[in-house]
Structure 1
Amino acid sequence: MNALLRTRLFAGLVVLVVAGGCGLAGASEEDKAVAPIAASSSAAEVTESPSPAPEPTEDLVVEESPSPSKKPASKKPKPSRTSATPTEDPNNFQPPDCAEFEGKEVSKAKAKAALNAAAAKTYWPTSAPKLKVPADLVRAVAWHESGWTSNIVNCDGGFGLMQVMPDTESFINQRFEQSYDSHAYRQNAVIGANYLAWLTKAFGDQYFKGNYSLSAAKCKSDSSLCLLNMVIAGYNMGRGSVDEGYANKELVNPEYVSVVRHLMRDCYCDKY
């Protein structure tokens, strides 16, 4: 009995040890083999199929040709306080190759008379009766724009002595309840002078406390932010561009202003 009991106990212990050992060994080896494979598989999926990049927003879009209204990233240089010298002879007007001519050209003498008459008009008889557009300013702008060529049609659609654009003609006619025709040279001169008068009042009211003097003596230079320079720049660039330039403390298109100011002082047209 004792021998048989010992034999059965021994056999039972052997079964328990073998069964327990196999179970521990199996779990250990499986954990060691499976875990790295799972991690490797996950890394491979991230590498081969990355998450799509977010689409660029409007703030990230870079324009190839930024509009004038946008400020560049770099600091703008301050405008020179010395009078700029035109790179070409301001008196040597040459029409561009794309220009065309419509109808018969009037003489330079008739053109001059029309420009002087347009400058002599009072465009704000009620709100600013003392506002006058200097005749030398009207003549200089017209010479720079057209060389006093009454029948020129420029590449951008500007017409005649003052190179009046269709939109400018419509604006002046609506604003002042007129029916000017830019293709009639005398009325063309009036539209241009009237636009100069409108710019004078607009800038004078906004920046110069209602002072409408276009005297060159009030300008430190041809590129300073005086009323005369701003009006000249506005004729070429429009009021909005001049307003933006003023906010940045600089005169827009100082080259154009410099040429017109030069012609006001010394113009070949004065011989007519």
Structure 2
Amino acid sequence: MRVFITAFLTATLVLLFILYKLFPLKYYSYVLLYCDDLDPLLVMSVIRTESSFRENAVSPLGAYGLMQVMPQTAEWLNSRFKKNYDYRTVEGNIALGCLYLNYLLEKDGNLEDALIHYNTGPYAQQEIKDDAGKRYVRKVLGSYRIYKLLYRR
């Protein structure tokens, strides 16, 4: 019985170690600065899903950085909210991503639709929203559950 308990505790510690490595709080200080009404752990989940924490990630469509902000969206957000964030910097990218997600959440009224629009854009065809958007929501919310499990106190 003692061997079983030791093996179980060891396996649990290894699993927790792996989860903390896979779900880090990298850039958390910037997230806290700009998340406003968003749960910072949700923002971390978006970053993990969008870029896997790669600062210079670029999508085939041109979205850039940790939160995969499109240059046109950055320009629109800066103009609309009278900001001057640079989407090419870590801080600016997080600031713009949070600003956009907050805007979409307020506009759409629910998290699932806001996440779909964050991923596909608000004017994407319904088929894309139904397919890619729903997959994206599952990924983000799955990461969000793990982030809350690990870091919610």
Q: How high is the TM-score relative to the length of structure 1?
A: 0.42
Q: Report which of the two structures shows the higher radius of gyration computed on alpha carbons.
A: 1
User: In the alignment, residue 116 of structure 2 is paired with which amino acid?
Assistant: A
More helix by share: 2
Q: Which residue of 2 aligns with 1:199?
A: 104
Matched, 1:117 2:33: yes
Q: Which runs of 4+ in 1 moved over 6 A?
A: none
Q: Which residue of 2 aligns with 1:172?
A: 77
Q: Which residue of 1 aligns with 2:139?
A: 259
Q: Which residue of 2 aligns with 1:139?
A: 44
Aligned length: 127
User: In the alignment, residue 66 of structure 2 is paired with which amino acid?
Assistant: L
Question: Runs of 5+ in structure 1 lacking a partner?
Answer: 1-90, 93-107, 122-131, 205-226
Quote how far apart the aligned CAs of 1:199 are. Answer: 0.5
Q: Give CA deviations for 1:206-260 in whole Å, capped at 9, x if unaligned.
A: xxxxxxxxxxxxxxxxxxxxx1111111100112348x58xxxx95521110000
The 1-side partners of 2:90 and 2:46 are apart by: 15
Q: Give CA deviations for 1:30-59 in whole Å, capped at 9, x if unaligned.
A: xxxxxxxxxxxxxxxxxxxxxxxxxxxxxx
CA RMSD after TM alignment: 2.6
Tell which has more relative contact order, 1 or 2 (C-alpha 8 A, sep 6+): 2
Aligned mate of 1:230, from 113, 118, 128: 113
Contact preservation (8 Å) 2:26, 2:53: no
Q: Which residue of 2 aligns with 1:20?
A: none
User: In the alignment, residue 141 of structure 2 is paired with which amino acid?
Assistant: R
The 2-side partners of 1:115 and 1:150 are apart by: 14
Quote how far apart the aligned CAs of 1:109 are. Answer: 5.6
Quote how far apart the aligned CAs of 1:174 are. Answer: 1.1
Q: How high is the TM-score relative to the length of structure 2?
A: 0.72
User: In the alignment, residue 161 of structure 1 is paired with which amino acid?
Assistant: L
- Among all aligned residue pairs of Structure 1 and Structure 2, give the percentage whose two residues are the same amino acid: 29
